[in-house]
Amino acid sequence: MSKNQVVVAASKPHTATLIFLHGLGDTGHGWAGTLAVLKPDYVKLICPTASSIPVTLNGGLRMPSWFDLRSLDITIPEDEEGIKTAAQSIHSLIQQEISNGIPAERIVLGGFSQGGALSLYVGLTGDVKLGGVIALSSWLPLHQKIQYEGLNKVSVLQCHGESDPMVQYAFGSLSSKLLKKHLSNYDFKSYSGLGHSSCPEELEDVKKFIVKVLP
């Protein structure tokens, strides 16, 4: 993870934190402005930036990426080592907030696309129970290696555009079906005509989720 991150302080006493991870090739600035507007005023926002690494999917070009993306084909083995290394860096960021006095249940972790995938993995494999996890236009990586027992209380919002040409809707739906089996506080929302992006309706759903889990 890059040392560069965008932090938007709470405008009222800081009682909760939202950590949001960008998608492939983006930076923390990509989502900071949008989320700063919709977050509650008692919530601190942290948008870290991934380190630049060669990405197989893009011909080996270096760009901000949480881990290597080898393909968008679900049959191709994932970058397990990279995913676990990235997860550890996010776990450390969460622990920093806990050390600063914010309980784990007052922390929401979210992300878009690759960042959403990492958020799901971190939220389901960490040693602490977070207040919630948000995954936009993404999927659950390394799903066969996650221990699902005891995860039923984790609150998760997964959102996906039905016209997504990058992370196809069917891919997100597969993750949704798996998560529904193991999580009781899980919600999957889809948006007609939405591609690999966000929309006002989705952002409103994100806002409602944050307020719900971080009252």
Least confident range of 103-107, 151-155, 175-179, 190-194: 151-155
Please check the confidence at residue 74 and state whether its pLDDT lies above 80: no
**Cα–Cα distances in Å, from 131 out to 81, 105, 146?**
26, 4, 19
Please check the confidence at residue 152 and state whether its pLDDT lies above 70: no
* Residue of 187, 190, 196, 197 marked active site: 196
Q: How far apart are CA 159 and CA 139, in angstroms?
A: 10
> What average pLDDT does this structure show over 35-60?
96
CA-closest candidate to residue 120, choices 81, 96, 86: 86
Catalytic residue flag (residue 198): no
Q: What is the CB neighbour count within 10 angstroms for residue 125?
A: 16
Mean pLDDT value across the chain: 94
> What average pLDDT does this structure show over 107-124?
97
> What average pLDDT does this structure show over 157-164?
98
Catalytic residue flag (residue 113): yes
Catalytic residue flag (residue 143): no
* Residue of 164, 175, 198, 205 marked active site: 164
What pLDDT band is residue 176 in, cutting at 50, 70 and 90? Answer: very high
Pairwise pLDDT comparison (74 vs 87), residue with the higher score? 87
Q: What is the CB neighbour count within 10 angstroms for residue 29?
A: 13
* Residue of 113, 119, 138, 175 marked active site: 113
